[in-house]
Amino acid sequence: MLKLIDTGIENTVGFSIDGKITKEDMSLVLSAVKEKGEQHSHLFLYEEIESIGGLEFRAMLEKLSFLWETGFSNIRKIAIVSDKRWVHTVVDIEDRIFRGIQMKSFDQHEKPAALAFLHQRT
């Protein structure tokens, strides 16, 4: 399940993940990203990951369709909050691959630091 989170940062889409991600969940988040993208030239993402209990195939198709149509060239920073070690490893790898996007992972108790990271000017 994905839920939107209000971070209080104007150009940021925040959401939490806990359990299985459905097509409807993915549509909710991608619609928010698209809407913010129409309002701001630079976007930030804030993610809190409790658990990932799978991803519906339709949700993956929804995401791929969005990336094909919209891309992610306007996303500048991503802060990911999780106590899962494997999430931190994935974020480190993705940060090296997607050089145009600053990605950083934080433990659950570091939520204020994650939001501060998004506030910092690049």
Residue-wise pLDDT tens digits, 11-46: 999 999 998 888 898 899 888 988 998 899 899 999
Statement: residue 122 has pLDDT above 70: no
CATH number, residue 92: 3.30.750
**Residue-level pLDDT at 85:** 92
Give pLDDT, residue 106. Answer: 98
* C-beta of residue 27 within 8 angstroms of C-beta of residue 62: yes
| Residue 57 reports pLDDT greater than 80 | no
54: left (phi over 0), alpha (psi -120 to 50) or beta: left
* Domain membership of residue 87 as a residue range: 2-119
Q: How many CB atoms lie within 10 A of CB 30?
A: 20
Residue whose entry in the numeric block shows the structure tokens 């991803």: 55
- Number of structural domains (the chain) is 1
Cβ atoms of 55 and 21 within 8 Å: the answer is yes
111: which 2 tokens?
């939520």
* pLDDT per position as a tens digit, 73-91: 788 999 999 999 989 998 9
List phi, psi (to 5°) of 40: -135, 145
Instruction: Tell me, yes or no, if the pTM score tops 0.75.
Output: yes
Residue 56 has pLDDT above 80, yes or no: no
